[in-house]
Amino acid sequence: MADTVKLEIVTPDRKVLSEDVDYVGAPGAMGEFGILPNHVPFLSALGIGNLYYKLGGKTYYVFVAGGFAEVSHNKCTILAEVAEMAHEIDVDRAQKAADRAGQRAQQTKERLDFARNQAALRRAIARMSCQRAGKDAGTC
Ligand code: ATP
C-alpha cells in the first residue's frame, strides 16, 4: 500500500503542480471531497474554491475553478479550467474583480447576467481566501 498519492494539477495553459502528497481536499461541484492514498477510482466535476493538499505536516492551498478531478491508480488528476497556487494569486487584481462584480450588480440589474457575475464574484472571493489560508498556514 502506498503512503502518498500523486497529485497533478493541470490547466489548458500549463502544469501547475505535480507532487506526491499525503492528502488532497478539493471543492467538488457537489461539495468538498477528500482523497487519501489508495483511494478507489473516482470522478467529480470541480466547483469554484480552494483545493488543499497536505505534505510533511504542512497544508498548501491552490485556487481552482471549473473542470474535473479524476482519481485512478493512486493518482489524483485535477483538470482545472483555471488554477493558481496561493503564492501566484494577485490579491489586488482579485479585489478589483470583486469590486467590479459588486458595481455591476448595483448598476445594471435589467441587463445583468446574474450567474456570470456571481461566478466572477465567487472566483475573486475564493482567490483572496486562498492566499489568506496559505499565509495563515505558513506555506505561501
Ligand atoms: P479578472 O477579471 O481579474 O481577469 P477572472 O476571474 O475573470 O478575473 P479568470 O477568467 O478566472 O479571471 O482567469 C483568467 C486568467 O487570469 C487565468 O490564467 C487566471 O489564472 C488568471 N488570473 C485571474 N485572476 C487572477 C489573480 N487574481 N491572480 C493571479 N492570476 C489570475
In tens, the pLDDT along 28-49 reads: 999 999 999 999 999 999 999 9
Q: What is the pLDDT of residues 67-84, one digit of tens each?
A: 999 999 999 999 999 999
Q: Whose CA is nearest to atom 9 of ligand 1?
A: 82
* CATH number, span 5-87: 2.60.15.10
pLDDT of residue 111: 76
Q: Can you tell me the mean pLDDT for 55-65? A: 98
Number of alpha carbons in the 13 Å side-chain half-sphere of residue 10: 9
Does the fold of domain 89-137 match that of domain 5-87? no
* pLDDT on residue 107: 78
Which of the listed residues 9, 46, 64, 84 should we mutate to test ligand 1's pocket, taking the one with most ligand atoms within 8 A of CB?
Answer: 84
Phi and psi at residue 63, in whole multiples of 5°?
-75, 135
Answer yes or no: is pLDDT of 1 > 90.
no
Whether the per-residue pLDDT at 13 is higher than 70: the answer is yes
Output the residue whose Cα is nearest ligand 1's atom 4: 97
Domain locations along the chain: 5-87, 89-137
The percent of residues above 70 in pLDDT, for the chain, comes to: 99
Ligand 1 pocket test target in 14, 103, 123 with most atoms within 8 Å of CB: 123
Predicted pLDDT at 105: 86
Judge whether 48 and 63 are in contact, CB under 8 Å: no
CATH number, domain 89-137: 1.20.5
Is pLDDT of 90 > 90?
A: yes
The pLDDT-based confidence of 108 (bands split at 50, 70, 90) is low
Section 62-67 average pLDDT:
98
